[in-house]
Structure 1
Amino acid sequence: MDKNAKGIELLQQGKVEEAVQIFTEAIEENPTDPVGYINFGNVLMSVGDPEKAKRFFERAMEVDPEAGAAYYSLGTLHFNQGDYDHAKDQFERAITKGMENADVHFMLGMSLSQLDQPKLALPYFQRSVELDDQDVEAFFQLGLSLAKVEAYKEAIAAFNNVLSLDPEHADAYYNLGVANLVHESNTDQALAFFHKAIELQPDHELAQMGVATVDMIKKEESE
């Protein structure tokens, strides 16, 4: 096992100081390899030192401008700080540098979603679930983006995919309720989904509001 792999293993075990030592040795032994800088930056980010982490990611880019993982990590840093515009830029660069996995597409989609650009986020969430069809959160975010652009039929399919992977996902039931109410005008089905969300999460305020909305609609229809 090389030192970078060993350092990652130590980090996963919560042995941060030992991981730092290993990554330091990896950088000293091979200063032209961007991986050591990226790993060290990720450690610094995980322990709450984003400014130093940023310098290591930028150093990795200097050593190898094609190191997609460096742009991805810097994008994650910006995202965690709420700087979604710069995060978006870095995730886009990671993809142009050849990074092609579910995570980078998901994070780019999340950045665009946070920037209130659901239409632009859609293809990245779609690509994310293509690359990892077991990712519950990616399917859920795909469903949210589809609903925001009023593609309710496709949104319903995405939320059903969420439930096939996680049958106790209260927010998926709530959003299915909304989609059925808005798109299908099916108050009975919507009510059933809202009640299921509340069953799974009794303090789900949005689902409670959904129930109240359906009750009001039914009352108006009966008058």
Structure 2
Amino acid sequence: MDKNLKGIELMQAGSWEEAAKAFNDAIEENPDDPVAYINFGNLLAATGDEERALKFFGKALRLDENAASAYYSIGTIHYNNQDFEKAKEAFEAAMKKGLDNSDNFFMLGMSLVQLGNNRLALAYLQRSTELDPEDPDARFHYGLCLAEEGLIDHAILQFETCIQIDPDHADACYNLGVAFAFKEQPEKALEMLDEALKINPGHTMAEEVKNILTASMGNSNTEDYIG
């Protein structure tokens, strides 16, 4: 079996040391192959050694400046460290180098959200849902971004689709409830807030909005709770 494939299987099984040996063997057999360096970097990142991981990704890019997945992995490290500007740049580079998958579009969109640019993020989050229609998190965050931009009807569709995919997504139920409250449909709003609390009894924001609605149906302040 190819050493890279073997290493990936071992990683998925949680056999970190054996996976590291497989990737190291792959590098020794073909030191000019960027794939092995990317795989080893992903292993290091997964085990918390992000500094060394970045060095391996850098080596991969020196061997092949078009190694798009290396940019994606670099972006993920920066995103996890809350350096969203660097994350955005890395995900953009991955896209420009041809990485056309839902994960990269999703992470680019989320980086833009964190940077406060929801309007630009919408296109990338939408593309993520198009490439992977069954990803509930992509649906949820796309819906959230739509809601924050005031596109409530479109947001409702995304929250509903998210719940169809993952019926136990408490935050999608909560935000759908808030969206219905904003649309002055209190019965539907309460139904979804109750569902959120059924899934997660400790969902304090759902409890707060439910109390507001119960006390005064259609209270306009409920729009402040989207998120």
Q: Counterpart in 2 of 1:171?
A: 171
How far residue 111 of structure 1 moved from its aligned partner, in angstroms, is: 1.0
Residue of structure 1 equivalent to 2:88? 88
Say whether residues 1:35 and 2:25 are aligned partners: no
CA shift, 1:169, in A, is 1.4
Give the aligned partner of residue 118 of structure 2.
Answer: 118
**2:49 counterpart letter in structure 1:** D
Deviations 1:121-145 (A, max 9, x none): 1111111111111101000011000
Q: Give 2:67's aligned residue.
A: 67
The answer as to whether partners of 2:181 and 2:218 remain within 8 angstroms in 1 is: no
Residue type of the alignment partner of 2:197 = I
Partner of 1:190: 189
The separation in 2 between residues aligned to 1:166 and 1:14, in whole angstroms, is 26
Residue aligning to 2:13: 13
Most deviating of 35-44 and 110-119: 110-119
Shift of 1:117: 1.6
Task: After TM superposition, give the deviation of residue 218 of structure 1 in Å.
Answer: 3.6
Paired letter, 2:194: H
CA distance in 1, matches of 2:50, 2:60: 15
* In structure 1, C-alpha distance between the alignment counterparts of 2:218 and 2:39, rounded to whole Å: 60
In 2, distance between residues paired with 1:147 and 1:191? 18
Deviation at 1:153, TM superposition (A): 0.3
**TM-score, structure 2 as length reference:** 0.93
1:157 lines up with 2:161 in the alignment: no
Question: How many residues are aligned here?
Answer: 219
- Residue 212 of structure 1: how far off its partner (Å): 1.3
CA distance in 1, matches of 2:20, 2:63: 20
Taking every aligned residue pair, what percent have the same amino acid on both sides?
A: 48
Q: Deviations over 1:150-205 (max 9, x none)?
A: 100000000010011111211111101111111x1112221221111111111110
Give distance in 1, aligned partners of 2:97 and 2:147: 31
Aligned position for 1:58: 58
Deviations 1:70-119 (A, max 9, x none): 00000011111111110010000000000111111111111111222211
Give 3-state SS (helix, strand or coil) of 1:212's partner: helix
The Cα RMSD (Å) is 1.3
Residue 219 of structure 1: how far off its partner (Å): 10
What is the distance in 1 between the residues matched to 2:38 and 2:168?
37
Seen in structure 2, the aligned counterparts of structure 1 residues 187 and 219 have a Cα distance that, compared at 3 Å, is: closer
Bigger mean CA offset, 19-28 vs 88-97: 19-28
Q: Which runs of 5+ in 1 are unaligned?
A: none
Corresponding letter in the other structure for 2:154: E
CA contact (8 A) 2:184 2:218 kept: no
Which amino acid letter does the alignment assign opposite residue 207 of structure 1? A
The residue identity in structure 2 corresponding to 1:125 is L
Gaps of 5+ in 2: 220-227
Q: In structure 1, what is the Cα distance between the partners aligned to 2:92 and 2:4?
A: 25
Q: How does 1:108-147 map to 2 (within 5 A)?
A: 108-147=108-147
2: CA distance, partners of 1:175 / 1:120? 21
Q: Distance in 1 between matches of 2:94 and 2:201?
A: 41
Tell me the amino acid that sits aligned with residue 114 of structure 1: Q
3-state SS of 1:10 partner: helix
Matches of 1:153 and 1:26, distance apart in 2: 51
Quick one: which amino acid aligns to residue 7 of structure 1? G
- 1:81 and 1:219 map into 2 onto residues whose CA distance is 40
